[in-house]
């Protein structure tokens, strides 16, 4: 069983985000690059599956990144992933969701997989569009927002989170899932894992290896970024005064009810 986890590298989510006003892109220099936190859940789900399935199950991390940042993937290897592959080339810069998913799908086909696991979202762009688009390009079932995964008799079973609960769904392999944070807290890489990670391989593939028949990067993007703006400042809060606790509780209750929140 071959599991491939897609991993994006993003600027440290704890650092302040700055946008370059001219290029309208997130400033990535001067900020530490880390694994997209949502992808750490995907890695955790994959490692748990490998532990349960045992045998010759392997987990590969796959990332579309500039060559210069690939060492950040060591953390995934230190967590226990078997190996990593990056898709890297200057021509990929500026890819939008569509171009990213197209290029990555060709990479995934080349690597080969039984199951692709994605994080639900990237902390930097926050479009959340790649997993669905990837499944489409790969022509495999795409089960998004899974909170639990199981493989029984070669079939994938997942619980899909919805607003009101979860759906129990299944699909034939090969398949793609994206996971939510309910799959379990990502493990810390162990120090032994960190020491072992340097012996694991991070292979590089370029678009030229993939025989792409469409443009990628900014040339292949179907969306165009027209403008950026900070979110509007929040209006000032409404302050209500209440004589005592129960009266205050009633005011809050009525407010929530009016907004149809309860």
Binding site for another protein (CB under 8 A): 30, 71, 74-75, 78, 188-195, 197-198
Nearest CB to another protein, comparing residues 169 and 181: 181
In the complex, what is the shortest distance from the CB of residue 188 to another protein, in angstroms, rounded to a whole number? Answer: 5
Nearest CB to another protein, comparing residues 74 and 160: 74
In the complex, what is the shortest distance from the CB of residue 40 to another protein, in angstroms, rounded to a whole number? Answer: 11
In the complex, what is the shortest distance from the CB of residue 197 to another protein, in angstroms, rounded to a whole number? Answer: 8
Q: How far apart (Å, rounded) are the C-alpha atoms in residues 172 and 65? A: 30
In the complex, what is the shortest distance from the CB of residue 16 to another protein, in angstroms, rounded to a whole number? Answer: 13
Nearest CB to another protein, comparing residues 204 and 218: 204
Nearest CB to another protein, comparing residues 12 and 219: 12
Q: How far apart (Å, rounded) are the C-alpha atoms in residues 217 and 112? A: 23
Angle of CA points 98, 99, 103, to nearest 5°: 120
């Amino acid at each position: 069983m071959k599991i491939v986890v897609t991993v994006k590298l993003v600027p440290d989510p704890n650092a302040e985000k700055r946008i370059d006003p001219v290029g309208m892109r997130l400033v990535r220099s001067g900020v530490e690059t880390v694994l997209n936190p949502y992808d750490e859940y995907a890695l955790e789900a994959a490692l748990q599956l490998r532990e349960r399935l045992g045998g010759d199950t392997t987990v590969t991390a796959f990332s579309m990144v500039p060559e210069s940042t690939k060492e950040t993937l060591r953390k995934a290897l230190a967590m226990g992933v078997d190996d990593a592959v990056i898709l890297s080339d200057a021509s990929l810069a500026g890819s939008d969701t569509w171009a990213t998913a197209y290029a990555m799908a060709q990479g995934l086909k080349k690597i080969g997989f039984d199951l692709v696991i994605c994080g639900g979202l990237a902390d930097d762009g926050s479009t959340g569009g790649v997993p669905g688009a990837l499944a489409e390009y790969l022509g495999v079932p795409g089960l998004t927002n899974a909170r639990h995964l199981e493989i029984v008799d070669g079939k994938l079973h997942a619980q899909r989170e919805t607003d009101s609960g979860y759906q129990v769904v299944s699909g034939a392999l090969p398949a793609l899932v994206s996971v939510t944070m309910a799959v379990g807290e990502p493990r810390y890489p162990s120090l032994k894992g960190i020491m072992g990670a340097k012996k694991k391989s991070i292979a590089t593939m370029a678009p030229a290896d993939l025989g792409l028949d469409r443009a990628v990067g900014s040339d292949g993007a179907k969306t165009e970024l027209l403008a950026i703006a900070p979110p509007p400042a929040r209006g000032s809060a409404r302050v209500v005064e209440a004589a005592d606790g129960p009266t205050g509780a009633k005011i809050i209750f009525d407010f929530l009810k009016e907004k149809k929140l309860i």
